[in-house]
Amino acid sequence: MAGSGPAVCIGEDIDTDLVIAGRYLRTKDRSVWAEHAFEDLDPTIAPRLKGCVLVAGKNMGCGSSREQAVMALREAGVLAVVAPSFARIFFRNCINVGIPVLECEEFPCTNGEMVTYDCRTGMMRTDRVTRECLSLSPRMQEILEAGGLVEYWKRRLSR
């Protein structure tokens, strides 16, 4: 669970309605969520998500439990999400769909700047700054390393 990619920076208190609006939820086509991600916040964000590290302000993902919000990020190709704090359901949902979440104190960063992260060591950095992140529980690590909760339970059920 390590990688690197250009940063896409978003603000504080970004709620799940802003990640994916309620009007796009009733579908089985997950590409819809990727296509419309952050549409009400800034329509220029969605095309920049592929291969990026999403760098958010505090309280990332507050609001609804809708997992479509994190599926939108996964489908769009977001590598990891960084924030000083996460809403807890969003945090859980990220791990469950296999997106690394890195919680650390404010991470000064600009759009396009390369961010490198490693979930196992809990470190992330740019050329200018290095940060230590909140460590994940063994079970969270296991889910992430399996690629998400579907693969995690597939493995456990087949044992």
Binding residue for other proteins, selected from 5, 34, 38, 66, defined by CB under 8 A:
66
Q: Could you tell me which stretch among 3-11, 46-54, 81-89, 117-125 binds other proteins (CB under 8 A)?
A: 81-89
Residue 40 sits in the site that holds other proteins (CB under 8 A): yes
Binding residue for other proteins, selected from 45, 62, 109, 115, defined by CB under 8 A:
62
* Closer residue to other proteins (CB): 68 or 126: 68
Q: What is 92-136 written as a DSSP string?
A: HHHHHHT--EEE-S-----TT-EEEEETTTTEEE-SS-EEE-PPP
Amino acid identity at 118: D
Binding residue for other proteins, selected from 2, 4, 6, 15, defined by CB under 8 A:
15
Number of residues in contact with other proteins under rule CB under 8 A: 42
Rg of the chain in Å (alpha carbons): 15
- Least distance in angstroms from the C-beta of 112 to other proteins: 26
Binding residue for other proteins, selected from 81, 92, 133, 144, defined by CB under 8 A:
92
Residue 35 sits in the site that holds other proteins (CB under 8 A): no
Q: Could you tell me which stretch among 18-26, 73-81, 113-121, 124-132 binds other proteins (CB under 8 A)?
A: 18-26
Which of 64, 59, 115 has the alpha carbon at shortest distance from 84? 59
SS3 76: helix
What angle (nearest 5°) sits at the alpha carbon of residue 107, between those of residues 87 and 2?
A: 80
Residue 159 sits in the site that holds other proteins (CB under 8 A): no
- For 102-113, the three-class secondary structure string (H helix, E strand, C coil) is EECCCCCCCCCC
